[in-house]
A and B are shown apart, each in its own frame.
Chain A
């Protein structure tokens, strides 16, 4: 609530509006503070300048001073005039008033902060209390319900007892009346359903009834047990099958014992398990230990399978980065063979040339008939020359061919590399999805050993590269060859089988096709 204070101020020229604004500002008096402390709203910094100039200007100094004096005196401050009616201003008084006003302002701000804080506290307290109240209300209602329920039960019981008494009374009356009407009229008695005579009720019959009842219960339990046994047996069979299949999935790794070094001890365990659990009727036992063994062995194998798959995954990702390794190996090998052959040929040719030269020398050196010797020499020379020319021609042809081959091979290799990259990407993602979705609660095993496993082949590759780069490469793989460790054993085995002969341009295509066949 605000106290509106309007003050009559002498009308000034253009600044009257501003003054009026100022004086009629809302003055909030907090409920706790009943003093007439004015809360002066400080103008914002932007309007500060205009504000300060708005109140007092050149023209209305006297009026502003007298107005201020009036205000201050009403508030209890000493007058700012030197004397009561004079025009001179008491500077000391003014300064004191200003100081007082500032102090007052500080106090007010502090008070305001405190009030705000209290307000917040009260608000949060209110919320808390409301929550508590709601909970209490629920509890209260529950208590009411339970008390009403007990009261109701008590009343019901009372009424029921009364009712029972009435029933008893009625029953007695009914029975006492010896109502001849309560009777059964029947033409003739009917035989029993099962054709036998009725038996007296004796202790024997009682015992028999008990026996019958227990027989019924037992047969029911036996039936249920049989069902559960059948279910158990089926589940065990399924587990066994799963185990066998998992084992089947794993053995292909035995070809590369190096890579499977970490599974060495586990393999022996595997064999042990197989031996144990293939014992006759072992799986039919339903004792605790056999059950545990079975589940543990399945867990073990599952873990192995998971490791295997993760390894595959890693391999695939590595292959993806190093494209042509395997092909290079093969083709390099083949080309090496070729180059060796060619070198041999060259060697032979060289030797032949040497011997020819020697013979020529001898011929030249050895004296003989001029004509015939000359002729002979000429003939020899010609012959030789022709032969040499032919050989040179052959040599040159071969060289050209090799150059062609080399070019085509490099092109093919480049193409192959690109295709391979794409294919490996696909395969990697597909494998990842497949197998990582299957694995659930086993920890990710370390792949510390894997780099070591591939280090061997990595060295191999490096050696090959070195050897090929030394000689004149009729093999074309110097370009996109990377010395990264490579692929899966499957690739190596299959591709070595696939492409054996270096049959010119057909080779890279063959490799690519066999690759594609694998994926399909």
Chain B
């Protein structure tokens, strides 16, 4: 495992290109494009204002940089560094911006969600989508990039419009039986669209590509409902995480629940492996001590190493009870992710913030629990194999695979609090992002033992 040096970063905007050749990062108003393996600076672009959002186009030829305060989107080309493009929304304002799957159109959401403007880089045409819904996931593209689903709201009712991305023609327009549509997501096979309601109502609706309602699922009434959902890569399963600390799995044949996963504070199943992160004091050889102490020595003295110990079940995990009178309480299943080979599901119960739960989907049982010392900030699966990278806001990166798990201290001087991760598409490296810096960790093939 090799670590690169630290580089400056702002806004957690560090992204690998889809083809894996480059890494784009932002420092205030500058966009830095580096080579993914050597981290040499390939291009350097300067934008008009502080960049709030960057996105690679699907063919890795363009990057868009959105500056919400100014209402401007700037697009840069990697092939031709002189090429420039600026989209100014002016008084309409800008709250969100994204690429279309073909990499030639940019969709800007204006302020107050008045409309979505589709700007084309190929022609002079502009399209408008009216009444977009102001929700978390209002725009969803199918994996093959053919269709786009947009959540809309007219006259206090929710609708979904499906557009064909090639010519932006409206294919289907139908209303959803939701109170307040919270999000939409396509299944990886592009044939089923999941739409779920606000957390005040547990309801998830499944629509076919042609707009037919396939099924509705409601687990319970009154209590807070769905917090997060995830499709399995094969589209066989739909995992729904809710505020009652459970994950319910629906199957694609009958759209009925096949199992539910509970996240209790005490793990009792004897077949589950619980890895607990423990601190181990660093060993210092007294002969090597020198005065004045070198920086490396000082940092290694004060940085705490940690390792994983296997705890014996039953294990009781740290459980927090959130304040009942605040909105958006920190409870329920906040993070869900399937592994790329469909075999595992990683979840995080916000009531037990220090643990990552890994479920074996083939057996539909709890497989591993990772108990960390600090609260889990984010986890991401390796895009190629069942390997999970976890970060908890300290300067360590944790990797789990079915063979075992490892805790690695990033050898940096000073503070480096990792809050986000981004894998390279080949799974050979992962970018570790903190508030002000980032570094890239290169993994060897047989890394985790």
Interface residues of A (CB under 8 A from B): 142, 145, 149, 153, 157, 160-161, 164, 167, 170-171, 174, 177, 179, 181-194, 198-199, 201, 205-206, 209-210, 212-214, 216-217, 220, 224
Residues of chain A with a CB closer than 8 A to B253's CB: 224
A167-B84 in contact (CB<8A): no
Residue of A nearest to B113 (CB): A167
Q: Chain B, 44-63, contact with A by CB distance < 8 Å: what is the 0/1 string?
A: 00000000000000110000
Q: Chain B, 72-88, contact with A by CB distance < 8 Å: what is the 0/1 string?
A: 00000100001111111
Residues of chain A with a CB closer than 8 A to B252's CB: 224
A167-B114 in contact (CB<8A): yes
Select B210's contact among A185, A201, A214, beta carbons within 8 Å. A214
User: Quick one: which of A189, A190, A209 has the most chain B CB within 10 A?
Assistant: A190
Residue of A nearest to B83 (CB): A187
A190 to B61 alpha-carbon distance, docked (Å): 11
B169-A184 in contact (CB<8A): no
A190 to B105 alpha-carbon distance, docked (Å): 11
A-B contact pairs, 7 of them (CB 8 A): A167-B114, A182-B89, A183-B88, A185-B86, A190-B122, A198-B125, A214-B210
A186-B169 in contact (CB<8A): no
A182-B92 in contact (CB<8A): yes
How many B residues, CB 8 Å from partner?
48
Chain B contacts with A in 63-105, Cβ cutoff 8 A: 77, 82-92, 102-104
A167-B179 in contact (CB<8A): no
Chain A interface, >50% SS class: helix
Q: B283 contacts the other chain (Cβ, under 8 Å)?
A: no
A211 to B112 alpha-carbon distance, docked (Å): 36
Residue of A nearest to B124 (CB): A189
A174-B164 in contact (CB<8A): no
A150 to B439 alpha-carbon distance, docked (Å): 51
A193-B156 in contact (CB<8A): no
Interchain nearest-CB distance for B74 vs A (Å): 10
Given A170-B114, A187-B84, A216-B209, CB of A181 within 8 Å of CB of B90:
yes
Given A198-B122, A201-B169, A205-B167, CB of A160 within 8 Å of CB of B104:
no
B115-A171 in contact (CB<8A): yes
Given A181-B91, A214-B210, CB of A187 within 8 Å of CB of B103:
no
A201 to B124 alpha-carbon distance, docked (Å): 15
Interchain nearest-CB distance for A139 vs B (Å): 13
Residues of chain A with a CB closer than 8 A to B189's CB: 220
Interchain nearest-CB distance for B278 vs A (Å): 44
Interchain nearest-CB distance for B96 vs A (Å): 16
List the 3 closest pairs (A to B, CB-CB), nearest first. A181-B90, A182-B90, A186-B85
Select A174's contact among B91, B156, B222, beta carbons within 8 Å. B91
Residue of B nearest to A182 (CB): B90
B156-A161 in contact (CB<8A): yes
A201 to B91 alpha-carbon distance, docked (Å): 30
Given A189-B121, A189-B123, A213-B209, CB of A174 within 8 Å of CB of B92:
yes
A212 to B146 alpha-carbon distance, docked (Å): 10
A184 to B127 alpha-carbon distance, docked (Å): 13
Q: Chain B, 232-256, contact with A by CB distance < 8 Å: what is the 0/1 string?
A: 0000000000000000000011000
A190-B92 in contact (CB<8A): no
A209-B209 in contact (CB<8A): no
A157 to B91 alpha-carbon distance, docked (Å): 27
User: Quick one: which of B126, B164, B209 has the most chain A CB within 10 A?
Assistant: B164
Residues of chain B with a CB closer than 8 A to A191's CB: 122
Chain B contacts with A in 161-197, Cβ cutoff 8 A: 164, 167-169, 171, 179, 189-191
A206-B169 in contact (CB<8A): yes
Q: B208 contacts the other chain (Cβ, under 8 Å)?
A: yes
Residues of chain B with a CB closer than 8 A to A217's CB: 191, 208-210
Residues of chain A with a CB closer than 8 A to B102's CB: 192-194
Residues of chain A with a CB closer than 8 A to B209's CB: 213, 216-217
Select B82's contact among A145, A161, A187, A190, beta carbons within 8 Å. A187
13 other contacts beyond A193-B104, A213-B171, with CB at 8 A cut-off? A153-B179, A171-B115, A182-B89, A182-B91, A183-B87, A184-B85, A186-B121, A190-B104, A191-B122, A193-B58, A198-B123, A212-B164, A216-B209
Total contacts A-B at CB 8 Å: 108
Q: B119 contacts the other chain (Cβ, under 8 Å)?
A: yes
Interchain nearest-CB distance for A429 vs B (Å): 30
Residues of chain B with a CB closer than 8 A to A194's CB: 102
B122-A192 in contact (CB<8A): yes
B169-A182 in contact (CB<8A): no
A174 to B103 alpha-carbon distance, docked (Å): 28
A192-B191 in contact (CB<8A): no
Q: Chain B, 324-352, contact with A by CB distance < 8 Å: what is the 0/1 string?
A: 00000000000000000000000000000
A188-B179 in contact (CB<8A): no
Select A220's contact among B121, B168, B191, B200, beta carbons within 8 Å. B191
A205 to B165 alpha-carbon distance, docked (Å): 12
Residues of chain B with a CB closer than 8 A to A206's CB: 169
Residue of A nearest to B102 (CB): A193
Residues of chain B with a CB closer than 8 A to A182's CB: 88-92
A62 to B188 alpha-carbon distance, docked (Å): 111
Residues of chain A with a CB closer than 8 A to B92's CB: 174, 179, 182
Residues of chain B with a CB closer than 8 A to A145's CB: 222
Interchain nearest-CB distance for A69 vs B (Å): 75
Residues of chain B with a CB closer than 8 A to A193's CB: 58-59, 102-104
Interchain nearest-CB distance for B166 vs A (Å): 8
Residues of chain A with a CB closer than 8 A to B155's CB: 161, 164
A210 to B114 alpha-carbon distance, docked (Å): 29
A216-B114 in contact (CB<8A): no
Residue of B nearest to A192 (CB): B122
A214 to B147 alpha-carbon distance, docked (Å): 13
A182 to B164 alpha-carbon distance, docked (Å): 26
Residues of chain A with a CB closer than 8 A to B190's CB: 216, 220
A160 to B222 alpha-carbon distance, docked (Å): 23
A396 to B244 alpha-carbon distance, docked (Å): 98
Residue of A nearest to B74 (CB): A185
Residues of chain A with a CB closer than 8 A to B87's CB: 183-185
A213 to B77 alpha-carbon distance, docked (Å): 33
Residues of chain A with a CB closer than 8 A to B169's CB: 201, 205-206, 209
Select A190's contact among B121, B167, B171, B179, beta carbons within 8 Å. B121
Residue of A nearest to B79 (CB): A190
Residue of A nearest to B142 (CB): A216
A210 to B116 alpha-carbon distance, docked (Å): 24
Residue of A nearest to B162 (CB): A213
A187 to B115 alpha-carbon distance, docked (Å): 26
Interchain nearest-CB distance for A137 vs B (Å): 15
A427 to B436 alpha-carbon distance, docked (Å): 75
A184-B119 in contact (CB<8A): yes
Q: Chain B, 200-242, contact with A by CB distance < 8 Å: what is the 0/1 string?
A: 1000000011100000000000100000000000000000000
A220 to B200 alpha-carbon distance, docked (Å): 34
A184 to B84 alpha-carbon distance, docked (Å): 11
Residues of chain A with a CB closer than 8 A to B114's CB: 167, 170-171, 174
Chain B contacts with A in 1-27, Cβ cutoff 8 A: none
Select A210's contact among B83, B103, B125, B171, beta carbons within 8 Å. B171
Residues of chain B with a CB closer than 8 A to A160's CB: 156
Residues of chain A with a CB closer than 8 A to B112's CB: 167, 170
